[in-house]
Chain A
């Protein structure tokens, strides 16, 4: 869970109170990743247990909100590894959209084309809604802008892939594409797999 590393990254800037970490984390992620303060303290407890973070300055029965947290040498090392690690899905990728389209093709090309058209529309509608929220919130921060850009870029990749699927389906022999949806589940295409 990247919240751990996110908190470590903030603590690398210097010691902080728990609540301060919550607000700074939310600002840094453009407001798309809200944290409740309980989640922050739970994560800090685990980081402390693992020796990546230590409590500074106060002893004894001080309330959590009074505690200052600081990163340890081990914490700095763990953070260093995180910056270098590449986020990746274990191949083969198993995302839901891909599964949906592959299953739809199994059922028949006409059905697959309908699913593709629908998914494309839904993806764009989501992007529009996202963009609209941002504009309504009037959040012009660079973080907010870049978060939207990241979502757009991922959706673009999905949309390009849907276009590619559609092209391949339309280029298949007429017998495959013109088969009625109801009959296609029994069509000979299955033999090719």
Chain B
């Protein structure tokens, strides 16, 4: 069951083919850092297909490769071996400029904290990616207002990040990550410093994005309570996928495997 997406493709997957373009697709991806005795294998052969509009949690103990997986999915780092497709395009084949454009147009990223530029207002933080894309300032601001409204912030948007609570700052970061119709939103423990009720609200907000915008959302978390909001959970251990609720290891082997 899990083998159908572990086979590297002979050719790049057909764009808008019968099964459609994945938001993100990994084929037997390996990521190493360092060399010789300092070598660390952060990912050891990861194959994974994430559909548009899917909400997926990546779980696993610290150091198992979750952040590395997100960096590769966002085109921020290169695979050592294997292939990574984002929005149907092989990241390794892209020029530096194409890749920068991919990161601005297709991928939104929300970190645990320090997501916003302190010297810009909430509205400016959100409209910045559009303005960098060459969208006229007035139009960029209008779209930024819409994105802020979508995360429940429709007033006081001319204030600076420091004037907002931690939960509100994460909402602003999410608004910035979804402005401009991205294919993928990557969130790396986005509730790290927030209290439980505020965290729940942030995750609930992420959970609404796939239906609202068709965005695939990939959430790294080690909290089951947050993972429970998702459609699917992928479990990582030592750089490998050990289970996936979409293709459970136990499901096919339950009779033979556990008897």
Listed in ascending order, the chain A residues whose CB lies under 8 Å from chain B are 111, 114-115, 117-118, 120-125, 127-128, 130-131, 149, 152-153, 155-156, 159, 163
Residue interface bits B231-259, CB-to-A below 8 A is 1, else 0:
10101000000111100111001100110
21 A-B pairs in the complex with CB atoms less than 8 angstroms apart: A117-B235, A117-B242, A118-B248, A121-B233, A121-B235, A121-B244, A123-B224, A124-B224, A125-B233, A125-B248, A128-B228, A128-B229, A130-B228, A131-B228, A149-B225, A152-B228, A155-B224, A155-B228, A156-B223, A156-B224, A163-B61
Q: Bound complex: CA of A148 vs CA of B252, how far in Å? A: 29
Query: Contacts A114-B258, A124-B245, A163-B61 hold; do A152 and B231 have CB atoms under 8 A apart?
Result: no
- Picked from B225, B231, B235, B249, the residue with its CB within 8 Å of the CB of A156 is B225
Q: Is the CB of B245 within 8 A of A125?
A: yes
Q: Bound complex: CA of A156 vs CA of B228, how far in Å? A: 10
Q: Is the CB of B249 within 8 A of A118?
A: yes
The smallest beta-carbon distance between B111 and chain A, in angstroms, is 24
Is chain A's binding surface mostly helix, strand, loop or mixed? Answer: helix
Asked if B58 lies at the interface with its beta carbon under 8 angstroms from chain A, I say no
Interface centre among A130, A153, A159, A163, by most B CB within 10 Å? A159
For A155, the chain B residues whose CB sits under 8 A away are: 224, 228
Q: Is the CB of B224 within 8 A of A159?
A: yes
For A118, the chain B residues whose CB sits under 8 A away are: 243, 248-250, 254, 257-258
The smallest beta-carbon distance between B112 and chain A, in angstroms, is 20
Is chain B's binding surface mostly helix, strand, loop or mixed? Answer: mixed
Q: Bound complex: CA of A163 vs CA of B233, how far in Å? A: 16
The smallest beta-carbon distance between A144 and chain B, in angstroms, is 14
Asked if B86 lies at the interface with its beta carbon under 8 angstroms from chain A, I say no
For B228, the chain A residues whose CB sits under 8 A away are: 124, 127-128, 130-131, 152, 155
Give the interface residue-count category, chain B. Answer: 20 to 34
Within B206-220, the residues touching A (CB, 8 Å) are: none
For A153, the chain B residues whose CB sits under 8 A away are: 225
Query: Contacts A121-B249, A128-B230 hold; do A115 and B258 have CB atoms under 8 A apart?
Result: yes
The smallest beta-carbon distance between A136 and chain B, in angstroms, is 12
For the complex of A and B, the 9 pairs showing the least CB-CB separation, nearest first, are A118-B250, A127-B228, A152-B225, A121-B243, A156-B224, A131-B228, A124-B233, A159-B224, A125-B245
The smallest beta-carbon distance between A57 and chain B, in angstroms, is 44
Listed in ascending order, the chain B residues whose CB lies under 8 Å from chain A are 59, 61, 223-225, 227-231, 233, 235, 242-245, 248-250, 253-254, 257-258
Q: Is the CB of B245 within 8 A of A131?
A: no
The smallest beta-carbon distance between B64 and chain A, in angstroms, is 12
Q: Bound complex: CA of A180 vs CA of B248, how far in Å? A: 22
Q: Is the CB of B227 within 8 A of A124?
A: yes
Q: Bound complex: CA of A152 vs CA of B223, how far in Å? A: 10
Q: Bound complex: CA of A128 vs CA of B230, how far in Å? A: 7
- Picked from B224, B249, B253, the residue with its CB within 8 Å of the CB of A127 is B224
Q: Bound complex: CA of A138 vs CA of B250, how far in Å? A: 32
Q: Bound complex: CA of A117 vs CA of B237, how far in Å? A: 11
For A156, the chain B residues whose CB sits under 8 A away are: 223-225
Given A121-B250, A125-B233, A127-B227, list of 13 further CB < 8 A pairs?
A114-B257, A118-B258, A121-B243, A121-B244, A121-B248, A121-B249, A128-B227, A128-B230, A128-B231, A128-B245, A152-B225, A152-B228, A159-B224
Nearest residue in A to B223 (C-beta to C-beta)? A156
For A163, the chain B residues whose CB sits under 8 A away are: 61
Q: Bound complex: CA of A149 vs CA of B224, how far in Å? A: 11
